[in-house]
């Protein structure tokens, strides 16, 4: 029997299990790319506006750190500068999560051992996952190229830009194959892969900030420094889509995939199924007294993720605050960009609109923490841990209410931290760090009712549709993200925008706060939470 026996059948199983996730990924990426390209085309309709954008982006260290280097003044180069990092990060994270889900998670749940008892080769499970994920990246790349070309961009540049995004996904597929062999848990493997994505982002940002601006006028370009070449995210920029394409750079992510797969096969040969190359740390002989209560257990399970989120929010908030003045000066030179920031942040004063849009972005991002924290409930139920907890003197209502409370308190801490650090960073530039920190900390708290609605949606889905709760919860958050962050920019109808709870949050500090929409959002959240608790009390466990 070959080590790859059964790969085809297992690949079909992966496709069967992830048919909805893969469809959203493969179809959602080009749709998002098409929408973003259309909005950029509307904001920069003529050569003069694009030259102005390119010159300000090339001279702004903040723009180079977050958007990457500009490869020219053509419309396609501006589209890449505005969309590449977002699409590449999505491709990287979706690829790593998918690989870990069908490798390490299968071992963690015992599914891999059950499959291994049949006629299945040692490498079949890993190979099947890699084939499907690489295939999804290829399909998304082809459709994204068609979307860019459909938006009116040149075909060669469209293919290069899409291949740069797909190359990032392929590269991190190989990285995730390795992290799945290192950690004994899927959460640990995902954390290692996410850390690799973060390091790649920092290397790319450092290389782009340290790069040099060359040319001027229509020949303007930014050449990245050497740290960017150490990052898979940086390789996509080096393709220079719409700026004299360098097709040979696309060989780098393919080489990393091959190296990662070869390393994963070698590691898989040297470990037992269910074990990891990094042995788990032994815990204390006796449990802490706090673990005797649902609240203590919830805190113990969520504190690591909360700490990681807090570090990321604090660093990003302080950085965005420091960049406030520079970003304000940059968008003032471009009326279309200023209009977009005002649409997202509300109000006419650009710096306040910018700060409001940053706080809104924090609230949208922290919504992912709420979903992640609350979906642990479904994982505990599916793994059989919930039955053991409910067999003690803990009621269903108390257990689920504790999980919801822990997630919402974590969201409260994160959104407040984001406001305080953003205000502190901007206050250091403006000369009033304490005052701005207090002001933006209070403005950030206005976003909490929207996060309560997100928590309510996840809780209601867990109670009413437990088997679909994971997919539907993430789908709802993505819809909220697109409507809340891009709806106004894409000029969507108000009826569509109203579906997102973030739409109804006043854009403080750009506008005066309004109490009524916050009360309505809180009432909606309470109704959703009550529905979820009531449904959970009455359904079977597990279900």
Q: Are 370 and 458 in contact (CB under 8 A)?
A: yes
Q: Look at residue 41 in the predicted model and tell me its pLDDT.
A: 79
Which of 59-63, 344-348, 452-456 comes out lowest in average pLDDT? 344-348
Q: Look at residue 508 in the predicted model and tell me its pLDDT.
A: 85
Max Cα–Cα distance, the chain, nearest Å = 72
Q: Look at residue 484 in the predicted model and tell me its pLDDT.
A: 63
User: How buried is residue 107: exposed, middle or buried, by Cβ count under 10 Å (0-12/13-18/19+)?
Assistant: buried
Question: Which tokens go with 67?
Answer: 């958007």
Residue range 23-29: mean pLDDT, rounded? 89
Per cent of the chain over pLDDT 70 is: 92
**CA atoms within 13 A of residue 543's CA, in its CB half-sphere:** 17
Whose tokens are 């977050």? That residue is: 66
Choose among 324, 352, 342, 347: nearest CA to 431: 324
Instruction: Give the pLDDT band of residue 487 (cuts 50, 70, 90).
Output: low
pLDDT, one tens digit per residue, over 403-425 is 999 999 999 999 999 999 999 98
Residue 433 pLDDT exceeds 70: yes
Q: Look at residue 216 in the predicted model and tell me its pLDDT.
A: 64
If residue 223 lies in a helix (H) or strand (E), which one and from where to where?
strand 221-223
Q: Which residues on neighbouring strands pair with residue 222, listed in sequence order? A: 213
Residue range 339-354: mean pLDDT, rounded? 62
The three-state secondary structure class of 212 is: strand
Choose among 37, 401, 393, 92: nearest CA to 232: 92
Q: Are 253 and 244 in contact (CB under 8 A)?
A: no
Q: Which residues on neighbouring strands pair with residue 221, listed in sequence order? A: 214
Chain-centre distance of CA 95, in angstroms? 12
Instruction: Give the pLDDT band of residue 533 (cuts 50, 70, 90).
Output: very high
pLDDT, one tens digit per residue, over 184-240 is 888 788 888 988 998 998 889 888 888 887 776 666 778 888 889 999 999 999 999
Q: Look at residue 40 in the predicted model and tell me its pLDDT.
A: 79
Residue 356 pLDDT exceeds 80: yes
Give 178's contacts (C-beta < 8 A, 6+ positions apart): 260, 263, 264, 267
Residue 329 pLDDT exceeds 70: no
pLDDT, one tens digit per residue, over 247-266 is 999 999 999 999 999 999 99
Residue-by-residue DSSP string for 229-283: GG-HHHHHHHT-TTSS--GGGGHHHHHHHHHHHHHHHHHHHTS-TT--SSPPPP-
**CA atoms within 13 A of residue 330's CA, in its CB half-sphere:** 20
Q: Look at residue 491 in the predicted model and tell me its pLDDT.
A: 63
- Phi and psi dihedrals of 46, rounded to 5? -125, 170
- Report how far apart the first and last C-alpha atoms of the chain are (Å, whole number): 38
Residue range 137-156: mean pLDDT, rounded? 94
Q: Look at residue 145 in the predicted model and tell me its pLDDT.
A: 95
Q: If you average pLDDT over every residue of the chain, what do you get?
A: 85
Q: Look at residue 399 in the predicted model and tell me its pLDDT.
A: 92
Per cent of the chain over pLDDT 90 is: 36
Chain length of the chain: 543
Q: Look at residue 213 in the predicted model and tell me its pLDDT.
A: 78
pLDDT, one tens digit per residue, over 494-511 is 777 788 898 888 888 878
Q: Are 447 and 313 in contact (CB under 8 A)?
A: no
């Amino acid at each position: 029997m070959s080590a790859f026996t059964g790969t085809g059948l297992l690949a079909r199983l992966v496709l069967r299990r992830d048919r909805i996730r893969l469809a959203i990924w493969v179809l959602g990426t080009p749709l998002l790319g098409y929408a973003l390209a259309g909005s950029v085309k509307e904001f920069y309709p003529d050569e003069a506006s694009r030259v102005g954008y390119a010159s300000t982006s090339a001279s702004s260290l903040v723009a180079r750190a977050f958007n990457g280097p500009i490869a020219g003044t053509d419309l396609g180069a501006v589209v890449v500068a505005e969309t590449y990092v977002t699409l590449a990060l999505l491709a990287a994270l979706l690829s790593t999560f998918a690989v870990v889900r069908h490798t390490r998670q299968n071992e963690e749940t015992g599914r891999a051992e059950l499959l291994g008892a049949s006629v299945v080769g040692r490498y079949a499970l890993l190979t099947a996952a890699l084939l499907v994920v690489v295939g999804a990246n290829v399909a998304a790349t082809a459709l994204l190229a068609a979307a860019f070309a459909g938006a009116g961009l040149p075909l060669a540049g469209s293919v290069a830009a899409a291949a740069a995004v797909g190359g990032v996904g392929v590269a991190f597929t190989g990285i995730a194959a390795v992290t799945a062999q290192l950690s004994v848990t899927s959460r640990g493997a995902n954390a290692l892969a996410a850390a690799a994505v973060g390091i790649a982002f920092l290397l790319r940002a450092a290389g782009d900030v340290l790069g040099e601006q060359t040319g001027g006028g229509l020949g303007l370009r930014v050449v990245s420094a050497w740290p960017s070449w150490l990052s898979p995210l940086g390789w996509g920029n080096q393709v220079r889509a719409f700026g004299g394409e360098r097709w040979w750079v696309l060989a780098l992510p393919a080489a990393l995939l091959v190296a990662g797969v070869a390393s994963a096969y070698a590691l898989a040969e040297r470990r037992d199924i269910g074990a990891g190359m990094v042995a788990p740390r032994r815990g204390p002989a006796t449990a802490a007294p706090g673990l005797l209560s649902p609240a203590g257990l919830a805190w113990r399970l969520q504190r690591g993720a909360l700490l990681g989120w807090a570090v990321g929010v604090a660093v990003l908030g302080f950085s965005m605050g420091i960049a406030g003045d520079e970003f304000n000066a940059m968008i003032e030179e471009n009326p279309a960009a200023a209009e977009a920031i005002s649409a997202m942040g509300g109000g006419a004063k650009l710096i306040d609109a910018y700060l409001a849009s940053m706080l809104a972005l924090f609230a949208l991002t922290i919504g992912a923490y709420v979903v992640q924290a609350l979906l642990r409930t479904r994982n505990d139920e599916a793994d059989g841990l919930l039955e053991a907890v409910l067999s003690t003197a803990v009621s269903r209502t108390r257990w689920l209410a504790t999980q919801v409370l822990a997630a919402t308190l974590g969201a409260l801490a994160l959104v407040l931290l984001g406001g305080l650090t953003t205000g502190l960073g901007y206050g250091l530039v403006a000369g009033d760090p304490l005052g701005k920190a207090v002001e933006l900390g209070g403005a950030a708290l206005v976003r909490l009712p929207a996060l309560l609605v997100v928590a309510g949606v996840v809780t209601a889905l867990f109670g009413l549709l437990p088997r679909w709760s994971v997919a539907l919860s993430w789908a709802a958050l993505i819809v909220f993200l697109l409507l809340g962050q891009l709806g106004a920019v894409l000029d969507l109808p108000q009826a569509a925008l109203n579906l997102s709870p973030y739409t109804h949050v006043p854009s403080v500090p750009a506008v005066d706060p309004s109490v009524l929409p916050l009360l309505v959002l809180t009432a909606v959240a309470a109704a959703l939470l009550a529905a979820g608790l009531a449904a959970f009390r009455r359904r079977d466990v597990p279900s």
